[in-house]
Amino acid sequence: MATDDAPDYALGYESVGTEHSGVYLPVAGSFPGWLSGTFVRNGPGKFEAGGTAFEHWFDGLAMLRRFGFDDGVTYANRFLRTEAYREAAAGRVDAAGFAATPDRGPLDRIRDALSLSPTDNANADVVRIDGRYVALTESPRAVAFDPDTLATRGRFEWADDLPVGHTTPHLRRDREGGVWGYLTTFFPRAAYRLFRVPPGTRRREPVATVPVDEPAYMHSFGLTARYAVLVEQPYVVAPWRLLTPGDEPFVRRYEWKPQRRTRFLVVDRASGELAAEPRVPPFFTFHVVNAFEDGGDVVLDCVAWDTPSVLNGTFLDRLRSPGGSGGGGELRRYRVPLDGRSPEYEVLAEGVALPRCDGAREARRHRYVYAQDAAASGPPRGIVKVDAETGEERTWRDPDAYASEPVFVPRPDRADPPDPAAEDDGVLLVELLVPGEDRAAVAALDAETMEELGRAPTPDPIPFGFHGQFYRDGA
């Protein structure tokens, strides 16, 4: 129950005590008959280790949740059985996280900086690589799991010798089925290392290395048919600072240096050469929606803030307080010329978070962006659909629920790539927290009309999560 000191959405930051396996859920309304497959989401499910509470949302222990759609709706949830999980069960925090600060000696700090002993708390997203289902975070230690039982299968091992480093949980897939990502390495010389994983392999092939003096914090990137685009925001760290003693968390060692401005590193996918590196006024972003080419320009959509102040709102004491973190960012469309002209941007929408588009439009022009409607204080209560061509917005809201990231699932008989007129022919799957009922739910929204079609409540509440993917049966 909500109070002045504990608003109802504080339930979304409470630890889970029960794991479920294949529970059939009651359904209100109906889910489309063609919706058959598995919706897997990732996010924190436990916020303490022994008697020590985590300070930051991003450090909560990874808990997978699975919604199965096949002659009904089933639900399962399970914590990843990682080293981080076992250490927490023993009342310890032995690996540095986003803001977790274990008691580390000088040698351990060097190992952390070299990413030789990073956390394996893979709580951000999931991906399928070479037939394996993998949980990811910004740490290089990915974790494999069983998509049916959610059982942990152990560390996911890459079949290459690339150096370890800070990475992205948002890998991109090209039209040929290859998977793209990058590493940020700090020693002996700091650099961004772009790689591609060919279809049917676990081998990361180097594409480009971009040396840098002070590496930036980057959470995601863009991919077009010809280019990869790193968004180097001026939230940077001098590598030596990662070695200094003290209990300052990893994220606090970064500094906002707006005079550096934000740089778009446009890398030619074929040659690995920089095609352009223009700078724009500083901004901070977590999530790139998509990127594509238009004439001689690269167009990139992202959710942006003028400063990294949004990070202050992701500490748990703020999130649990009245007002929460408050407000999302601007959905911006940046046009990045490759001929030396200055980039420009337009604001497509305000107050949004966790944006997605139709996955079939990856590296292609997209029309619609779906996101949390995060304009008001506190966690988002709705989902907004933004038409990038007309500027029209359609919003679904439930005054009694809080909405997670929307994931678009196309109708299976739709052409690939879809006709532009059919880009929104499908549903949005959204995980909800319903504090008044002390439980959560999964809902399906008609992606064209933004009307709710069906909802299936879970036995217990589910903490606010981050990202997820839908995997169609037989896909």
pLDDT digits (tens, 9 = 90+) for 364-393: 999 999 999 998 677 899 999 999 999 999
What is the per-residue pLDDT for 248?
Answer: 61
Pairing state between β 23-24 and 329-337: unpaired
pTM beyond cutoff 0.85:
yes
pLDDT digits (tens, 9 = 90+) for 249-282: 667 789 999 999 999 999 999 999 999 999 999 9
Four-residue CA torsion sign, 309, 310, 311, 316: positive
Lowest mean pLDDT among 5-9, 176-180, 235-239, 467-471: 5-9
pLDDT digits (tens, 9 = 90+) for 36-71: 999 999 999 999 988 889 999 999 999 999 999 999
Highest mean pLDDT among 206-215, 237-246, 317-326: 206-215
What is the per-residue pLDDT for 419?
Answer: 79
Token digits for 254? 């970064």
| pLDDT over threshold 60, residue 117 | no
What is the per-residue pLDDT for 91?
Answer: 83
pLDDT class of 149 with cuts at 50, 70, 90: very high
Pairing state between β 48-49 and 73-79: unpaired
The more confident residue out of 7 and 31 is 31
Residue whose pair of structure tokens reads 């005590």 in the numeric block: 17
What is the per-residue pLDDT for 224?
Answer: 99
pLDDT class of 475 with cuts at 50, 70, 90: very low
| pLDDT over threshold 70, residue 4 | no
What is the per-residue pLDDT for 415?
Answer: 80
- What integer is the mean pLDDT of 124-153? 97
Q: Comparing C-alpha atoms, which of 120, 362, 371, 139 is closest to residue 250?
A: 139
Residue whose pair of structure tokens reads 């096949």 in the numeric block: 70
**Domain spans of the chain, in order of start:** 8-472
| pLDDT over threshold 70, residue 190 | yes
| pLDDT over threshold 50, residue 328 | yes
Chain centroid to CA 60: 15
Do residues 167 and 179 touch, judged by C-beta distance below 8 A? Answer: no
What is the per-residue pLDDT for 172?
Answer: 98
Alpha-carbon gap, residue 421 to 232, rounded angstroms: 34
Residue 92 CB contacts under 8 Å (≥ 6 apart), including other chains: 49, 50, 102
Do residues 171 and 164 touch, judged by C-beta distance below 8 A? Answer: no
* Torsion of the alpha carbons at 380, 364, 388 and 464, rounded to the nearest 10: 0
The CATH class for the domain spanning 8-472 reads: mainly beta
Alpha-carbon gap, residue 311 to 199, rounded angstroms: 36
pLDDT class of 26 with cuts at 50, 70, 90: very high
What is the per-residue pLDDT for 263?
Answer: 99
Residue 467 CB contacts under 8 Å (≥ 6 apart), including other chains: 41, 42, 43, 124, 125, 126, 169, 170, 354, 405
What is the per-residue pLDDT for 245?
Answer: 54
- What integer is the mean pLDDT of 72-98? 86
What is the per-residue pLDDT for 136?
Answer: 98
Do residues 39 and 429 touch, judged by C-beta distance below 8 A? Answer: yes
| pLDDT over threshold 80, residue 98 | no
What is the per-residue pLDDT for 146?
Answer: 98
